[in-house]
Amino acid sequence: MKVVLINPNTGRAERIENEAAWPPLGLLYLGAVLEKSGHEVKVIDNARIQLPVDKIVERVKRENPRVLGVSTLTPTFTQGIKIASAIKAELPDLKIIFGNYHATFTYERLLTKYPFVDYVVLGEGEQIFLELINALERNEEIKKIKGIAFRHDGGVVKTPPRPFIQNLDELPLPDRTLLEQEYHSEVVGMLGSSGKFTTVLTSRGCPYNCRYCACSAFSLRKVRFRSPKSVVAEMGLLQMEGYEEVGFVDDNLLLDRHRMEKICDLLKENGIKLTLWAEGRVDQASREVLRNFARVGCKTIYFGVESGNQKVLNYYGKNISPELSRKAMRNCKEAGIENIIGSFILGAPIETREDVQRTLDFALNLKGMDFPQMNVLMLSPGMDLWDTAVREGYLDEEKYWEDAVTAINVFPSHLKEEELSRMIDRFYSKFIKRPTFWIPQILKTVQSKYRMKILLANLKSRTSFRETVRQLTGG
Ligand code: B12
Ligand code: SF4
């Protein structure tokens, strides 16, 4: 059966590179699983190619599939709905299936409000989607399939949950040939080096429960690991296919230190030389792991520092301290990782102006960190803080379920959004102008081939610094 999979854009007119320049890995996994069972798959990554809705409709009509799968994160949901509605109007017999985080957490309202959406796949998609496509092709009963939701008898029915895939090594590798264009990494609004880029997933799930993150509700805090052998085999193939950069997109990459060390050893043994990008928790950033990681090509690490205030870290349920962040930065620097990025979340309802300032000052003085990314706390379905806001009567879910909302506009808070934005703008301006920022950065860049490549890539694509800062501050 022919299936078209769409990754919608956010619908905000932005530079392509800043939109979502990373490949939609989930769709490539789904594609590989369907193809293995004989189905025909096309992927339209509209976050990358940015077609207007009428052009997507034309393309899908040309493909004439029996099923359309739409992947929806909270920022892409509204556009996903527009695209699906326009396509269904032209192809009324087409079955439309929604999946990914936003659809999983809002399936009931979604199916009630949008009659052109036929099914929602809840959570990890490979097995459920395959069963659903097979059942649709063979005209079999749908309600025996675990992990889906659909309309029935004037209401919405949800079938029992589907157990997670235990042995991730059994999955086929994501089919990257389904993508129509190359990707180049993009971090904090800047393009990465110009090399061909893709993402790799070595594990699924996270045992932590940070209140601003939807991963724990999606994975129910159950972690599953791929074997180091299978991860390294995939990376070997990527190298042969001409990829130069790989970003790891695990929920919690550094969780099992021994497994990471094994992956590093195998990369070395197999002579795999890719440029690596990783995200991590500061309490897992041991010097040994980072040193091994740097040796096998890790150039960029992105840490969740979140706040310089212990009380805010506690509020987020992050289970780290500012001191651990300091230590992680030191370890990274000593390990020789070239680009160390700290991600912060400002605008917790309990945060006073002074607390925010303390975090900004903490970031200014965080030794080893090359660049901070200041995010404003947003609430979206699936997060503990979203549920808290609904439970405590601050958020009318019926009204706001289709988009993310700024936390300080929802909860009683000390700060107004405009004031927070102004503080962040002032911070960046100060951060960048300090000689203690730009002198070491220039020195580091002239000494590093990798950084020079990044600089050239950005000059070539005319990355606007103002635009970068605007992206960083969510403006
Ligand atoms: C890589 C990544 C990115 C990349 C690429 C995004 C992309 N195209 O996938 C970049 C850097 C661009 C990015 C940006 C953002 N991201 Co992001 N990102 C991730 C990350 C780390 C990995 C995604 C991934 O590849 N997973 C691996 C694949 C295999 O899993 P998957 O995508 O979930 O797909 C599976 C299922 O969801 C399902 N499925 C998915 N699609 C479909 C479609 C159908 C039809 C079906 C049936 C099933 C199905 O089946 C798949 C296979 O099992 C996740 C966290 C995580 N670990 O998942 C956050 C995450 C997805 N991002 C998130 C957010 C909030 C953002 C930003 C808003 C951040 C920001 N403030 O700017 C932006 C928004 C970008 C956008 N335009 O939508 C949130 C989304 C929460 C939500 N409620 O939507 C997540 C979950 C992180 C979190 N901590 O909560 N992100
Ligand atoms: S923020 Fe990171 S550590 Fe916390 S729950 Fe999400 S994935 Fe896990």
The distance between the two most distant Cα atoms of the chain, rounded to a whole number of Å, is: 68
Token representation of residue 263: 């992956």
Residue with tokens 């497994």: 259
Per-residue model confidence (pLDDT) at position 429 = 94
The residue whose CA is least distant from atom 48 of ligand 1 is 99
Cα–Cα distance, 308 to 39 (Å, whole number) = 51
Is 466 a residue whose pLDDT tops 90?
no
| Three-state DSSP state, 432 | helix
Cα–Cα distance, 29 to 25 (Å, whole number) = 6
The Cα angle at residue 199 between residues 197 and 205, in degrees rounded to 5: 165
This prediction has a pTM of 0.96
Question: Ligand 2 pocket test: which of 251, 302, 377, 386 has the largest number of ligand atoms within 8 Å of its C-beta?
Answer: 251
Is 111 a residue whose pLDDT tops 70?
yes
Distance from residue 255's CA to the centre of ligand 2 (Å): 11
- Structure confidence at residue 195 as a pLDDT band (50, 70, 90): confident
- Residues paired with residue 99 on neighbouring β-strands, in sequence order: 71
List the domains of the chain with CATH numbers.
2-158 (3.40.50.280), 184-472 (3.80.30.20)
- Structure confidence at residue 188 as a pLDDT band (50, 70, 90): low
Cβ atoms 78, 11 nearer than 8 A: yes
Distance from residue 252's CA to the centre of ligand 2 (Å): 7
Mean pLDDT of the chain: 93
Mean pLDDT of 370-396: 97
Amino acid 40 reads E
Q: In this structure, are strands 186-187 and 155-158 parallel, antiparallel, or unpaired?
A: unpaired
203, 214, 248, 425 from 251: Cα distances, Å? 8, 10, 9, 29
Per-residue model confidence (pLDDT) at position 464 = 53
Cβ atoms 98, 72 nearer than 8 A: yes
The residue whose CA is least distant from atom 25 of ligand 1 is 25
Amino acid 452 reads M
- Structure confidence at residue 16 as a pLDDT band (50, 70, 90): very low
Question: Ligand 2 pocket test: which of 101, 201, 202, 208 has the largest number of ligand atoms within 8 Å of its C-beta?
Answer: 208
Cβ atoms 28, 238 nearer than 8 A: no
Is 267 a residue whose pLDDT tops 50?
yes
% of the chain with per-residue pLDDT over 70: 93
What DSSP line would sit under 68-109, residue for residue? EEEE--GGGHHHHHHHHHHHHHH-TT-EEEEESHHHHHHHHH
417: CB partners within 8 A, 6+ apart: 347, 376, 406, 408, 409
The residue whose CA is least distant from atom 61 of ligand 1 is 73
Per-residue model confidence (pLDDT) at position 473 = 46
Per-residue model confidence (pLDDT) at position 451 = 86
| Three-state DSSP state, 67 | strand
Cα–Cα distance, 335 to 292 (Å, whole number) = 8
Q: List the one residue out of 250, 248, 249 whose CA is nearest residue 274.
A: 248
Choose the weakest-confidence range: 13-22, 377-386, 447-456. 13-22
Cα–Cα distance, 411 to 234 (Å, whole number) = 45
Closest ligand by atom to 209 CA: 2
Residue with tokens 């199916």: 111
Cα–Cα distance, 302 to 304 (Å, whole number) = 7
Cβ atoms 23, 46 nearer than 8 A: no
Question: 314-360, pLDDT tens digit by residue?
Answer: 999 999 999 999 999 999 999 999 999 999 999 999 999 999 999 99
Per-residue model confidence (pLDDT) at position 475 = 40
Per-residue model confidence (pLDDT) at position 184 = 83
337: CB partners within 8 A, 6+ apart: 290, 293, 294, 298, 299, 300, 301
The gap from C-alpha 276 to its chain's centroid, in whole angstroms, comes to 16
Question: Ligand 1 pocket test: which of 18, 19, 25 has the largest number of ligand atoms within 8 Å of its C-beta?
Answer: 25
Kindly list the protein residues whose Cβ atom lies closer than 6 A to any atom of ligand 2.
206, 208-210, 213, 215-216, 251-252, 281, 304
Token representation of residue 248: 């790891």
Is 376 a residue whose pLDDT tops 80?
yes
Mean pLDDT of 267-285: 96
| Three-state DSSP state, 168 | helix
Token representation of residue 320: 């780290």
The residue whose CA is least distant from atom 7 of ligand 2 is 251
Question: 63-84, pLDDT tens digit by residue?
Answer: 999 999 999 999 999 999 999 9
Mean pLDDT of 251-265: 96
Q: In this structure, are strands 224-225 and 203-204 parallel, antiparallel, or unpaired?
A: antiparallel
Question: 394-411, pLDDT tens digit by residue?
Answer: 999 999 999 999 999 999
Closest ligand by atom to 164 CA: 1
Is 363 a residue whose pLDDT tops 70?
yes
Mean pLDDT of 426-455: 90
Backbone phi, psi, residue 97, to 5°: -120, 125
